[in-house]
Amino acid sequence: MQTQNTLSNFEYVVIPSVSMVSFVKTARHPVAGHLPLMMVKINFKDGKLILEGDWHFLVASNRQANPYWFSLHSGRVGIEADIYPAGVVDLDDHNNDGLVFPVEGIIKDGSSSNSCSGLIMLDRIKTMTEVSTHEWNISFYLYDYEVDNCEIKFKLPVYTTSDNWNNN
């Protein structure tokens, strides 16, 4: 019996390393070394995105970041957003090779709350060889309404079950 690959929840955590914390601290910003630099929880079934992380890490991870963006928030931020449409994604359905989900929510830090919007993209990886560590990527692009072009973006791997357990 073949198992069905569905995606209802996705979680990803970036644990701070010494080199990453020192990179983020170069902006003279204190980093809580015991907290994740970023934690993402996406519940496709209920249509919810939760992202928490160090603002400077989130901005520094964007290669096209404007230096001004570092001053927009301080310390840790939290993003809570709704994903449209909500529902479990069937990863075995070949019609789902590239899905885009609009996102609407808020970015909060200790002193402010701004509206945000963006996209979550779920893409099947197409390789010329059979050697691949994962079959899917989730990319998300979030924009702060209060500031033109301020973008948080990440591409994260999605690992799924496989008919051949040796490939996992």
- Asked if residue 52 belongs to a domain, the reply is yes
138 close to 120: Cβ distance less than 8 angstroms: yes
**50 found inside a domain:** yes
Does residue 166 form part of some domain?
Answer: no
Mean pLDDT score of the chain, rounded to an integer? Answer: 82
Residue 3, domain member (yes or no): no
Q: Decide if 168 is inside a domain.
A: no
| Number of domains within the chain | 1
Range of the domain at 105: 8-161
Q: Is the dihedral of CA 87, 53, 117, 141 positive or negative?
A: negative
> Residue 151: inside a domain, yes or no?
yes
Query: Which segments of the chain does DSSP mark as H helices, in order?
Result: 18-25, 55-60
* Distance, CA of 10 to CA of 138 (rounded, Å): 9
Domain assignment present for 2:
no
Q: What is the pLDDT of residue 12?
A: 95
Question: What pLDDT digit, counting tens, does each position of 27-70 carry?
Answer: 455 555 568 889 999 999 999 999 999 988 888 888 888 888 88
1 found inside a domain: no
Q: Which residues of the chain have pLDDT under 70?
A: 1-3, 18-34, 127-133, 161-168
